[in-house]
Amino acid sequence: PYASETLLRASFFDFTALASQPDDIAAHARYLEDGLLTLREGKVVSLESWEIAEGRVDAATVIDLRGKLIVPGFVDTHIHYPQTEMIGAFGEQLLEWLNQYTFPVESQYHCPDHAAQMSAFFLQQLLSNGTTTALVFGTVHKQSVDALFHAAQLLDMRLIAGKVMMDRNAPEYLTETPEESYQDSRELIERWHQRGRLSYALTPRFAPTSSPELLEKVRQLREEFPDTWLHTHLSENQQEIAWVKSLFPARDGYLDVYHHHQLTGKRSVFAHCLHLEENEWQCLHDTDSSIAFCPTSNMFLGSGLFNIKRCWQQGVRMGIGTDVGAGTTFNMLQTLGEAYKVGQLQQYKLSACEAFYHATLGGAHALDIDDKIGNFNPGKEADFVVIDPAVSPLQKLRSANSKDIWERLFVMMTLGDDRNIAQTWVSGKPVWQRDREEVTA
């Protein structure tokens, strides 16, 4: 009917509404074995069964992807783009890992050419793994974030990012004064925030690299730009927590360092949250703050086990993060597989249904953008992944022995990786196709 419509025929899986308990998720799951997705101007018009749509569409205009499974684009709620080149660094836990590996690598992002090259590489990694939206740490250098936003803008990706703010307990080449931090962050907000699909996150690295004066500048920016995000780390490692308590003796624990400066709330995203105290869980709930659960990072750095069950019980928003480069993969399927194992170590059974919810609509909710992305409801932005459910001989064998969609999804998060990502679509356009091996705007 409309020349500008795009029609795709395939199997589809998504969640049509939010859930407040894990047992409610399945009731909102939608699986269409043979469906038709209609897009116009980068947005979803409809998702229907093929049987219902068949009569009204001209078959010649349909992109036939039968045999593939289309799911909403994955949402990565915590990742560091300037750590891409040091992923998999041996032997250390958090604080030593930062000093030995992370800080030296981040220093290179003062160079705009390096930042531009790595931004392109980073976005290619996200897209080739089916991730269409991420909440991203830059470095302390404003040019790192300029480069990333510029690259994301060319692809029309929904991306939230910010420059790191830090003024102590890091090498001199990565620290700034609170005033410089304020000015540079402000400049970036004015240049990029809410420009197209880009948004800005105020990004104090974590409490140990923040003076009270710096946190006061963050508070001021949040007051001046109340629709920005706040992105930081919380309660990841026991030594880190003890250090925070000694640096901020007047505060009532780690989270209170942020809460005292009014940095909790909707659109505040705290990565890790592994060793929270009772009152901290309560504060996250009361302020409607969000958690980024980063299973591969938590296992790789030996940080601890995230308590998924407790998170549901407390009614705290949660999404999945890869946390590259402490995390060991950009791939959400593999990350979900690791999340399952974190659950196993605590007698929590993370179903495929729940896992895919966190990776899509739940993650969008954690970032407070579930009105824009996360499923195929009409009007949602058309960001999605075309999955090849079985590519290797082992996957094919196992898939042939799966009884239903739940088992197939579970096997995908156990055996799947980037080979399963056949195509990635952003704003209604294919930007990654596995057989071409390049990102095209």
For every residue of 51-108, DSSP letters joined together read HHHGGGS-GGGEEEEEEEEEEEPEEEEEEEGGGGGG-S--S--HHHHIIIIIHHHHGG
**Site membership for Zn ion, residue 14 (CB under 5 A):** no
Binding segment toward ligand GUN, per CB under 6 A, in 43-51, 94-102, 220-228, 246-254: 94-102
- Residue 385's SS3 state is strand
Give the whole-angstrom CA distance, residue 4 versus residue 335.
36
Binding mask 279-318 for Zn ion (x = CB under 5 A): ----------------------------------------
Nearest Cα to Cα of residue 44 among 74, 73, 75: 73
Give me the residue whose beta carbon is nearest to ligand GUN: 326
Q: Which is nearer to Zn ion, 256 or 323 (CB)?
A: 323
- Using CB under 6 A, which of 184, 256, 323, 388 touches ligand GUN? 323
- Residue 165's SS3 state is strand
DSSP H/E element including 430:
strand 429-433
For every residue of 274-306, DSSP letters joined together read -S--HHHHHHHHHHT-EEEE-HHHHHHTT----
CB of 80 to ligand GUN, least distance (A): 5
Give the whole-angstrom CA distance, residue 259 versus residue 342.
28
- Using CB under 6 A, which of 132, 144, 235, 297 touches ligand GUN? 297
- Using CB under 6 A, which of 32, 39, 65, 98 touches ligand GUN? 98
Number of residues that bind ligand GUN (CB under 6 A): 11
Give the whole-angstrom CA distance, residue 322 versus residue 412.
17
Residue 183, C-beta contacts closer than 8 angstroms, at least 6 positions apart: none
**Site membership for ligand GUN, residue 76 (CB under 6 A):** no
- Using CB under 6 A, which of 68, 193, 197, 233 touches ligand GUN? 233
- Using CB under 6 A, which of 6, 102, 185, 423 touches ligand GUN? 102
- Using CB under 5 A, which of 256, 280, 323, 381 touches Zn ion? 323
9 binds, among Zn ion, ligand GUN, none (CB under 5 to 8 A by kind): none
**Site membership for Zn ion, residue 240 (CB under 5 A):** no
- Residue 373's SS3 state is coil
DSSP H/E element including 249:
none
- Using CB under 6 A, which of 9, 142, 193, 205 touches ligand GUN? 205
Summarize as ranges the residues that interact with ligand GUN (CB under 6 A).
80, 94, 98, 102, 205-206, 233, 236, 297, 323, 326
Summarize as ranges the residues that interact with Zn ion (CB under 5 A).
271, 323
